[in-house]
Amino acid sequence: EAQVTQNPRYLITVTGKKLTVTCSQNMNHEYMSWYRQDPGLGLRQIYYSMNVEVTDKGDVPEGYKVSRKEKRNFPLILESPSPNQTSLYFCASSLQGTDTQYFGPGTRLTVL
Amino acid sequence: AQSVAQPEDQVNVAEGNPLTVKCTYSVSGNPYLFWYVQYPNRGLQFLLKYITGDNLVKGSYGFEAEFNKSQTSFHLKKPSALVSDSALYFCAVRGYTGGFKTIFGAGTRLFVKA
């Protein structure tokens, strides 16, 4: 089954404790992206990747890191999480940058 | 700069009536426009897209959208609403600005009353 998977689905952590949210797709898509969803703000793009080893900032990249070492994986790293990073995070992939995106189920992160 | 506006936080419609969820956009170059739907505790699901061609785009679950270049709008429509259409709807634009960024609108919550 074609899908985007994220782990973990739920995470509660404390300020400053480094964490990684994994994202994997099995559709051989070139484009992958991370978004955060906050009430009243819709989805805002954090980082995206056009292909392996090619990443670029979205609209809200501060406090986040990404890497794209293999085509299928695009982990999101919070090196020193803060409470304002409490949010619902979605990973998405698409064949190309102009194509339909397929979304993962989301990761609900709470930073205390 | 790219932007997307969904001017209505919420749209209420009676079952069986037509529905419209509005979206306007701003992008340099050719726009790639999308509608997604989010059901409670779920990820986003693709509804339809406009890349080029016919201004009326048909999508999943009986939804359609009309691309209007002069008004820079891409309103989502359905001739007859169902209670099961109640969800959060997002308009999105993708455009090339040195890389393919995606901008989403803030979302419109649709309530369909039986």
Q: What is the pLDDT of residues B20-65, one digit of tens each?
A: 999 999 888 788 999 999 998 788 999 999 988 889 999 999 999 9
Residue of B108, B76, B84, B79 lying closest to B18 (CA atoms): B79
Amino acid A99: pLDDT? 84
**Which two three-digit tokens encode residue B15?**
């079952």
B113–chain A Cβ distance below 8 A for any pair: no
| CA–CA gap between residue A91 and residue A31 (Å, rounded) | 11
Q: Give B11's pLDDT tier (boundaries 50, 70, 90).
A: very high
Does the pLDDT value for residue A2 go beyond 90? no
The share of chain A scoring above pLDDT 90, in percent, equals 92
Q: CA-nearest residue of chain B to A107?
A: B43
| pLDDT tens, residue by residue, A68-103 | 999 999 999 999 999 999 999 999 999 987 789 999
**Is the pLDDT higher at A99 or at A14?**
A14
Question: Residue B54: its pLDDT value, please?
Answer: 87
- Tell me what pLDDT residue A48 has: 95
pLDDT for A31 equals: 94
Query: Which one is predicted more confidently, B97 or A107?
Result: A107
What CA–CA distance (Å, rounded) separates A101 from A6? 15
Residue A100's alpha-carbon distances to A3, A48, B48, B50, B63, in angstroms, are 13, 14, 9, 10, 16
Cβ separation B34–A101 shorter than 8 A: yes
B100–A48 CB contact, under 8 Å: yes
Tell me what pLDDT residue B100 has: 78
Quick check: A97 and B96 CB within 8 A? yes
CB contact (8 A) between residue B106 and residue A40: yes
Phi and psi at B72, nearest 5°, equal 45, 50
For a pLDDT cut of 70, what percent of chain A falls above it? 100
Q: Which of B45, B90, B96 lies closest to A42 in CB terms?
A: B90
Q: What is the pLDDT of residues B90-109, one digit of tens each?
A: 999 987 766 778 899 999 99
pLDDT (0 to 100) of residue B97: 67
| pLDDT score of B95 | 77
Q: Which residues contact B48 (CB under 8 A, 6 or more apart)?
A: B34, B35, B57, B58, B59, B60, B63, B64, B65, B76
Q: Does A89 touch chain B (CB under 8 A)?
A: no
Candidates A43, A50, A103; nearest CB to B100: A50
Please give the average per-residue pLDDT across A8-25, as a whole number: 97
Q: Read off the tokens for B24.
A: 């306007």
